[in-house]
C-alpha cells in the first residue's frame, strides 16, 4: 500500500497518485458504455408513455456503472493471474500486471463494486418487481463470469455477444421498464442498436490483442474468425444502429427529428476506414476509445430524437 504513492505512470517517471492509479484501473474511457443504454431506455419510456422518474434513473445509472467497474477490476486481476497480460500486450497497461495495485486489493474493490450494485438493485427490484430481480442477478453473474470461473466468457468467442446483450438489450429494456412498468417491443430492438457499438469496442480490443490472446489460450471472436472477418463485423456494428429509427417511425414515435441519429453515420465510416488501414500496434488504443465516444455520440443523438 505504501509503495502505491510512488508507482510510475506509463511512459512517465513522475509519481502517480493513488486516485489516478484507481482511475486507470477502472478504465474510465469505456464507462460511457454503461451510461448510454440507461439514458436511451429512459428516453424511450418518455417517447412512448410520457413518463420520467429521477429515482429509477439515478439508481440504474449507479448500478450499471458499478457492475461495469466491478467487471473491469475483476478482468484486471483475472487476466494477470491467468498470465494473459504479458509485456508483449499492445493494450493500455493494467494496474495488477504493472504492480501498481496488489491482486488482493483489486479483487476486493471488484467485490465491493458488485456488492454496492446489489444494494442499489434491491431498491430497483422494489420499484420494478421480479423482471428487474432476474435482470439484475443475471447482470451481476455475467459481470463476474466475464473473466471469472473455469471458462470465462472473455476467453471464448462469446465476449461480444455478452456485451451486446447486457450493455444493449438488457440495459435499455430494464431502464425503460423501470420508468413506465410496461413492456415495449421497441425496447429490446433499440437496445440491440445501442449494444452493437458497445460490442464494437470489444472487437477493437480483441482485434488488437489477437496474437497475444492466441498465445495465452484465449479463444476470442477475433482469434476464432481472424482479423479480416472482424473488420467486416466492426463495419456492420457501427453502420447498422441508425436503422433503428425506421422501426421507431413505423411505431409512430417521433417525426423529422429521427434524422438525428443518422448524423453519426459519417463519423462511423471514418472509424471503419481507420480500422481497415491501421497497423497492429498500440495506436489501436486510440481507436478503441474513439469507438466508445462514437457510441456516446449515437446514443446522445438517439436520446434527443426520442425526447424532442
Per-residue pLDDT, 139: 87
At a CB cut-off of 8 Å and minimum separation 6, what does 141 contact? Answer: none
Using an 8 Å Cβ cutoff, are 174 and 187 in contact? no
Lowest mean pLDDT among 139-143, 206-210, 232-236, 301-305: 139-143
Residue 9 three-state SS: coil
Asked if residue 3 has pLDDT above 70, the reply is no
What's the pLDDT band for 91 if we cut at 50, 70, 90?
A: low
Quote the Cα angle for 36-67-37, to 5°: 15
Q: Which residues pair with 232 in a beta bridge?
A: none
In whole angstroms, what is the distance from residue 203 CA to residue 237 CA? Answer: 10
Using an 8 Å Cβ cutoff, are 7 and 99 in contact? yes
Q: Which residues pair with 8 in a beta bridge?
A: 15
Using an 8 Å Cβ cutoff, are 208 and 291 in contact? no
For 75, phi and psi rounded to 5 degrees?
-65, -40
What's the pLDDT band for 80 if we cut at 50, 70, 90?
A: confident
In whole angstroms, what is the distance from residue 85 CA to residue 216 CA? Answer: 9
Q: Which domains does the chain have, with CATH numbers?
A: 19-307 (1.10.600)
Q: Which residues pair with 15 in a beta bridge?
A: 8
- Cell 429521427 sits at which residue? 258
- Cell 497497461 sits at which residue? 93
Per-residue pLDDT, 284: 92
Percent of the chain with pLDDT over 90: 62
Per-residue pLDDT, 4: 35
What's the pLDDT band for 89 if we cut at 50, 70, 90?
A: low
Asked if residue 2 has pLDDT above 70, the reply is no
The average confidence (pLDDT) of the chain is 87
Phi-psi region of 217 (alpha: psi -120 to 50; beta: other; left: phi over 0): left
Residue 216 three-state SS: coil
> What's the mean pLDDT in 136-158?
82
> What's the mean pLDDT in 174-183?
94
Per-residue pLDDT, 87: 55
> What's the mean pLDDT in 83-99?
66
pTM above 0.95, yes or no: no
Amino acid at each position: 500500500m505504501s509503495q502505491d504513492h510512488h508507482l510510475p505512470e506509463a511512459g512517465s517517471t513522475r509519481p502517480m497518485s493513488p486516485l489516478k492509479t484507481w482511475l486507470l484501473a477502472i478504465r474510465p474511457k469505456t464507462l460511457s458504455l454503461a451510461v448510454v443504454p440507461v439514458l436511451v431506455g429512459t428516453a424511450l419510456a418518455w417517447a412512448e408513455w410520457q413518463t420520467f422518474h429521477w429515482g429509477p434513473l439515478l439508481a440504474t445509472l449507479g448500478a450499471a456503472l458499478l457492475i461495469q467497474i466491478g467487471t473491469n477490476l475483476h478482468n484486471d486481476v483475472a487476466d494477470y493471474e491467468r498470465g494473459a497480460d504479458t509485456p508483449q500486450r499492445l493494450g493500455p497497461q493494467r494496474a495488477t500486471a504493472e504492480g501498481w495495485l496488489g491482486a488482493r486489493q483489486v479483487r476486493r474493490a471488484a467485490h465491493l463494486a458488485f456488492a454496492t450494485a446489489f444494494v442499489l438493485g434491491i431498491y430497483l427490484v422494489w420499484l420494478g418487481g421480479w423482471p428487474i430481480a432476474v435482470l439484475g442477478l443475471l447482470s451481476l453473474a455475467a459481470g463476474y463470469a466475464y473473466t471469472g470461473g473455469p471458462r470465462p466468457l472473455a476467453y471464448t468467442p462469446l465476449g461480444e455477444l455478452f456485451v451486446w446483450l447486457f450493455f444493449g438489450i438488457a440495459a435499455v429494456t430494464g431502464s425503460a421498464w423501470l420508468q413506465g412498468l410496461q413492456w415495449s417491443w421497441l425496447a429490446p430492438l433499440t437496445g440491440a442498436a445501442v449494444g452493437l457499438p458497445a460490442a464494437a469496442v470489444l472487437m477493437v480490443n480483441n482485434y488488437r490483442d489477437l496474437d497475444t490472446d492466441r498465445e495465452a489460450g484465449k479463444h476470442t471472436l477475433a482469434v476464432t474468425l481472424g482479423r479480416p472477418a472482424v473488420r467486416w463485423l466492426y463495419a456492420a456494428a457501427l453502420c447498422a444502429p441508425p436503422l433503428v429509427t425506421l422501426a421507431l417511425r413505423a411505431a409512430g414515435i417521433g417525426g423529422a427529428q429521427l434524422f438525428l441519429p443518422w448524423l453519426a453515420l459519417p463519423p462511423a465510416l471514418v472509424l471503419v476506414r481507420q480500422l481497415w488501414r491501421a497497423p497492429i500496434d498500440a495506436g489501436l488504443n486510440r481507436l478503441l476509445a474513439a469507438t466508445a465516444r462514437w457510441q456516446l455520440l449515437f446514443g446522445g443523438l438517439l436520446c434527443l430524437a426520442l425526447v424532442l
